[in-house]
């Protein structure tokens, strides 16, 4: 599971780091140190006509194109890499709407003692594989939303949790974002990130409460 993450870059820095055009209000790109589902966050995707990279604010928690709308009883902020092609919810965006969620790192809690940890890949922006979709309300308003794909943990993560987000290497970004029609989507990229390229730190105990949003969440106390 990946239910919290953090991002320190603002709109301009994200656009520069990811070589993308950024749309939407700058306030929607404000750094967040305890980002939770249902909030609106910047997502990287490939523009449909020009095939250039673009950053677009979306809701975290995917609402499928053919759904009746936001279902508070259904958890859609994560999607397991296994079985994506067989899922009625994930199959369509897997083939048409793949995206990358930019972050500096993510949080996870160890089940045995509820200790919070944060996982990062250093100073570079971490690109996590995701899916997005668009849903139209009865009033004609479009909602764009996303989910984070998870996979089995690597050796750095497995002592804390039995799942981890799919972290992509920058060299694989374009392949994952590609919106051209292909016989099979690039699911070979959905694998655990190498442990030796990650760093793990203790996080602040108060990160469990989404109301706590300061940069001190990155520290152990």
Going by C-alpha positions, the residue among 64, 66, 182 that lies closest to residue 131 is 64
Under 8 Å between Cβ of 197 and 156:
no
Query: CA 47 to CA 49: how far, in whole Å?
Result: 6
Q: What percent of the chain has pLDDT over 90?
A: 85
Q: Dihedral through CA 126, CA 90, CA 184, CA 81, nearest 10?
A: 50
Tokens encoding 37: 């589902």
CATH code of the region 5-105+124-193? 3.90.1680.10
Give the model confidence (pLDDT) of 124-182 as tens digits: 899 999 999 999 999 999 999 999 999 999 999 999 999 999 999 999 999 999 998 77
Question: How far is 132 from 143, CA to CA, in rounded Å?
Answer: 10
Q: State pLDDT tens for residues 11-37.
A: 999 999 999 999 999 999 999 999 999
Asked if 60 contacts 94 with a C-beta cutoff of 8 angstroms, the reply is: no
Domain boundaries, the chain: 5-105+124-193
């Amino acid at each position: 599971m990946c239910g919290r993450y953090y991002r320190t870059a603002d709109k301009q820095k994200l656009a520069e780091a990811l070589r993308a055009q950024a749309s939407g209000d700058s306030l929607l790109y404000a750094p967040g140190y305890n980002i939770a589902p249902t909030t609106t966050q910047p997502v990287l995707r490939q523009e449909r006509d020009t095939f250039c990279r673009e950053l677009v604010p979306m809701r975290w928690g995917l609402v499928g194109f053919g759904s009746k709308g936001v279902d508070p009883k259904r958890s859609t902020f994560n999607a397991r890499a296994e079985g994506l092609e067989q899922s009625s919810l994930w199959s369509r965006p897997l083939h048409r709407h793949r995206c990358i969620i930019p972050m500096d790192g993510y949080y996870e809690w160890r089940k045995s003692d509820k200790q919070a940890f944060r996982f990062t890949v250093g100073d570079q922006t971490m690109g996590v594989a995701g899916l997005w979709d668009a849903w139209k309300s009865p009033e004609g308003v479009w909602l764009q939303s996303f989910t984070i794909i998870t996979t089995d943990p690597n050796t750095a993560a497995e002592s804390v949790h039995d799942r981890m987000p799919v972290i992509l290497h920058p060299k694989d970004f374009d392949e994952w974002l590609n919106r051209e029609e292909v016989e099979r989507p690039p699911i070979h990229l959905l694998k655990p990130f190498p442990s030796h390229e990650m760093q793990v730190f203790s996080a602040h105990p108060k990160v469990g409460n989404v109301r706590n949003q300061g940069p001190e969440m990155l520290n152990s106390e």
